[in-house]
């Protein structure tokens, strides 16, 4: 089964993705309220870090600020959940990212389900993460289905393009190129910084998506189709062939890549 030989599945996916509607006013309002609460939390955390703890008054201010941050967190998650329930794909994506941090080592089904819901609403970032939730080798019918969702999302009009940049980790097209751990450098800090998500634009996600199709497409997929995906990745701004697939696919890497 290949991406270009899925007539029944393809038609079902097209009916889902091609007509992905923009979020409703209620969904937008809830998502914006969640963002506002998050921004307030970030300012509150910055204030907490700068707050001295030398006197009883300072410590009282700190406790009050912690209580305020707790209330803001509750409010933020409530608005985010409401936005998800109202069908806001970016809210689904953001909730998945938060849940992934909270459930490290406990399985990712709930996280991937949220990515899948966002993907079905046409969010390119969601479609990319949904595919990445599965190992690409050995290839399976389910992985092929997710690649088809990704392909359709990349070729369609993402109704959430104004919400980018969005965060992702370890993109192939945009590697960090951190220097090796230096003598005396904090190893934990190095690992944390290396794993810190990067903000990609909509066009960056499109490039990364096409690169993923070129790199992880089903084994029986014709080589020229994968080569076309790689050329599309470069055309949309992929900065580097970090997985070194261009030579195998017979694609010339553009100068400067």
Is residue 177 assigned to a domain?
no
Per-residue pLDDT tens, the chain, 257 aa: give them: 334 333 334 444 544 554 567 899 999 999 999 999 999 999 999 988 887 776 777 788 888 999 999 999 999 999 999 999 999 999 999 999 999 988 775 568 999 999 999 999 999 999 999 999 998 888 889 999 999 999 999 999 999 999 999 999 999 999 988 888 889 888 888 888 888 899 999 999 999 999 999 998 766 678 999 999 999 999 999 999 999 999 999 999 998 76
Is residue 194 assigned to a domain?
no
Q: What are phi and psi of 55, to 5 degrees?
A: -125, 170
The 3-class SS string of 191-225 reads HHHHHCCEEECHHHHHHHHHHHHHHHCCCCCCHHH
The neighbour count for residue 187, using CB atoms within 10 Å, is 8
Structural domain of residue 63, as residue ranges? 26-86
CB 114 within 8 A of CB 81: no
d(CA 150, CA 222): 18
Is residue 81 assigned to a domain?
yes
> What's the pTM value of the predicted model, to 2 decimals?
0.85
Q: Which two tokens stand for residue 97?
A: 């990212």
Is residue 76 assigned to a domain?
yes
Is residue 67 assigned to a domain?
yes
Is residue 64 assigned to a domain?
yes
Is residue 49 assigned to a domain?
yes
Q: What distances in angstroms separate CA 179 from CA 1, 34, 175, 250, one per listed residue?
A: 41, 36, 12, 30
Is residue 180 assigned to a domain?
no
Distance of CA 40 to the CA centre of its chain: 23
Total domains in the chain come to 1
User: What is the enclosing helix (H) or strand (E) of 168?
Assistant: strand 166-168
């Amino acid at each position: 089964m290949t991406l270009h030989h899925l007539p029944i599945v393809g038609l079902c996916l097209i009916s889902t993705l091609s007509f992905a509607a923009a979020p409703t006013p209620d969904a937008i309002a809830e998502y914006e309220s969640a963002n506002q609460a998050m921004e307030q939390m970030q300012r509150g955390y910055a204030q907490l870090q700068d707050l001295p703890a030398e006197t009883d008054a300072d410590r009282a201010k700190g406790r009050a600020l912690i209580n305020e941050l707790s209330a803001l967190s509750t409010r933020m998650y409530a608005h985010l959940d409401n936005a998800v329930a109202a069908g806001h794909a970016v809210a689904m994506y953001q909730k998945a990212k938060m849940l992934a941090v909270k459930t490290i080592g406990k399985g990712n089904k709930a996280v991937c389900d949220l990515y899948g819901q966002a993907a079905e609403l046409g969010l390119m970032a969601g479609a990319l993460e949904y595919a990445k939730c599965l190992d690409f080798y050995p290839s399976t019918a389910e992985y092929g289905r997710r690649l088809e969702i990704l392909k359709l999302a990349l070729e369609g009009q993402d109704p959430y393009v104004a919400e980018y940049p969005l965060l992702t980790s370890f993109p192939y097209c945009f590697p960090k190129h951190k220097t090796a751990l230096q003598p005396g450098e904090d190893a934990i800090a190095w690992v944390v910084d290396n794993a810190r998500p990067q903000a990609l634009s909509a066009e960056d996600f499109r490039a990364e998506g096409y690169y993923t199709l070129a790199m992880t497409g089903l084994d029986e997929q014709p080589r020229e189709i994968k080569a076309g995906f790689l050329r599309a990745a470069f055309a949309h701004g992929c900065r580097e062939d970090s997985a070194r697939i261009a030579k195998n696919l017979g694609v010339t890497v553009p100068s400067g890549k």
